[in-house]
Amino acid sequence: MSSAPPGASWRQADLATSFLQRREDFVPMLAVQEDIVRSLLTRRGREIRSFVDLGCGDGAMTELVLDAHPGAEGLMIDFSEPMLSRAGDRLGRFAGRWSTRQADLNDSSWQDGLAPGSQDLVVSSLAIHHLPAERKRSLFGEVFSVLTPGGAFVNLDYVLVEGPLAGLFDEFKFQALRPPEGADDDAEQAFVDEDDDDRPDTAEDQVAWLAQGGFEQAAIQFKWAEAAVMAGFKPGGKE
């Protein structure tokens, strides 16, 4: 077994580039999931001024938040330098409203410098499933700590399912990744290898952990096979 930390394969430039180029192609119903996230962040007069994007990639989720809340400023955290290096390409129109930090979600150092109760939102997309269950639970507690009263945690992620729909997400992904006949299949093999880093837990378990950690209205907001959007709110705000 590799001694590399969970998700370490995303430090590979080729893998990161392939994912960013084809993200919309192989994540099932991604546009629907992002619309749900946008609604969670804008309904009932929710105000977001400061937020953190965990496992941000090149900033797709940060872009969504900055667009939905023109007064917001975001901190993007990822331990993949190739991912972070692409953020400027996506977020150029939001200059001055975002910053990046290279940090590993496998330990609590990602929150260094963030004051308790300082963030209106913590968001994540397709990142936390790389962490083992106990680390997920610890991370959720850290997120709770940095949120303002009423602050939101929204996680769009790959989750564990059993039964007839198990594996449907991967079937969708590999169908999209299949190269034309005669083309180089290195990108597809890289994603096959990356699956070894996956440590998904059920969406039901994860919202239970959120509730146990103090979050209110912890719920699954969307689920299709292994694709899910989960959210919870820190007590004390409008929600």
Q: How far apart are CA 135 and CA 128, in angstroms?
A: 9
Residues of the chain with pLDDT under 50: 1-2, 9-10, 12-13, 15-16, 182-184, 187-193, 239
DSSP string over 169-185: HHHHHHHHHPPPTTS--
Domain locations in the chain as residue ranges: 8-227
Taking alpha carbons only, the member of 71, 75, 91, 68 closest to residue 20 is: 91
Looking at residue 106, its pLDDT comes to 96
Looking at residue 172, its pLDDT comes to 81
- pLDDT tens for 37-81 read 999 999 988 999 999 999 998 899 999 999 999 999 999 999 988
Q: What is the mean pLDDT of the chain?
A: 87
Q: How far apart are CA 53 and CA 58, in angstroms?
A: 10
Looking at residue 212, its pLDDT comes to 98
Cα 157 to chain centroid distance, Å, stands at 6
Q: How far apart are CA 133 and CA 206, in angstroms?
A: 9
Q: What is the CATH number of domain 8-227?
A: 3.40.50.150
Looking at residue 10, its pLDDT comes to 45
Q: Are strands 227-233 and 147-158 parallel, antiparallel or unpaired?
A: antiparallel
Looking at residue 208, its pLDDT comes to 98
